[in-house]
């Protein structure tokens, strides 16, 4: 029972409950393709509380590019083995909090009705995008529209030698005064 299967994930998502993937202190895995399927093909079966995962390891690239997801996506204490891709997506809410391993967030053109919450997460990566021809970054949100708040309380964002949000910041911390955050709509 090392992996969260479709039946377990859908049962929780239909009832609006959280899937806690921790068993005996170990995190179980969930396939990114299954999460995508829930957001694309099975979205009419998801409770308005949304898809909520705690302490899971997301295996594969969670690619929600271009999808319309009408419910919140919340990941608490989860680890991702690839950058999350939400470019051009239309999401209700995205929360990735206390995630110790998030290799990036690619969100150019993202539209969020509510909050983007990255608080207490460690985001590290150096990704190329069409938003810049000369720099790499861990987080890309060019032309993103965030209808609520962009929350990065105690988040660490490490561009690994590329661009960090807002330019030079010795600790790589996301600050409300950073130009990349102030420019979010």
Any idea where the domains of the chain sit in the sequence?
A: 57-182
Looking at residue 27, what is its pLDDT? 97
Which pLDDT tens digit goes with each residue over 100-140?
Answer: 999 999 999 999 999 999 999 999 998 988 777 788 889 99
Q: Using pLDDT thresholds of 50, 70 and 90, give the confidence band for residue 165.
A: low
8 A C-beta contact, residue 59 and residue 32: yes
pLDDT of residue 182: 35
Task: List the beta strands (DSSP E) in the chain.
Answer: 19-20, 22-23, 26-31, 51-54, 56-59, 68-76, 79-80, 84-85, 90-97, 105-106, 111-112, 116-117, 122-124, 127-129, 132-137, 139-140, 145-146, 150-151, 156-158
Q: What is the per-residue pLDDT for 181?
A: 45
Q: Looking at per-residue confidence, does 1 or 69 come out higher?
A: 69
pTM over 0.75, yes/no: yes
Q: Looking at residues 42-59, what average pLDDT do you find?
A: 97
């Amino acid at each position: 029972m090392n992996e969260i299967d479709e039946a377990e994930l859908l049962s929780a998502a239909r009832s609006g409950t959280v899937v806690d993937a921790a068993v005996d202190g170990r995190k179980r895995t969930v396939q990114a393709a299954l999460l995508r399927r829930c957001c694309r093909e099975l979205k009419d079966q998801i409770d308005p509380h949304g898809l909520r995962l705690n302490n899971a390891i997301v295996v594969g690239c969670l690619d929600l590019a271009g999808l319309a997801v009408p419910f919140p996506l919340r990941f608490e204490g989860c680890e991702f083995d690839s950058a999350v891709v939400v470019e051009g997506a239309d999401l209700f809410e995205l929360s990735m909090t206390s995630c110790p391993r998030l290799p990036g967030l690619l969100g150019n053109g993202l539209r969020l009705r509510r909050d983007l919450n990255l608080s207490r997460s460690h985001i590290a990566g150096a990704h190329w995008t069409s938003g810049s021809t000369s720099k790499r970054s861990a987080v890309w949100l060019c032309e993103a529209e965030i209808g609520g708040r962009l929350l990065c309380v105690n988040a660490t964002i490490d561009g690994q030698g590329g661009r960090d949000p807002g330019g030079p910041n010795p600790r790589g911390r996301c600050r409300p005064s950073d130009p990349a955050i102030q420019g979010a709509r």
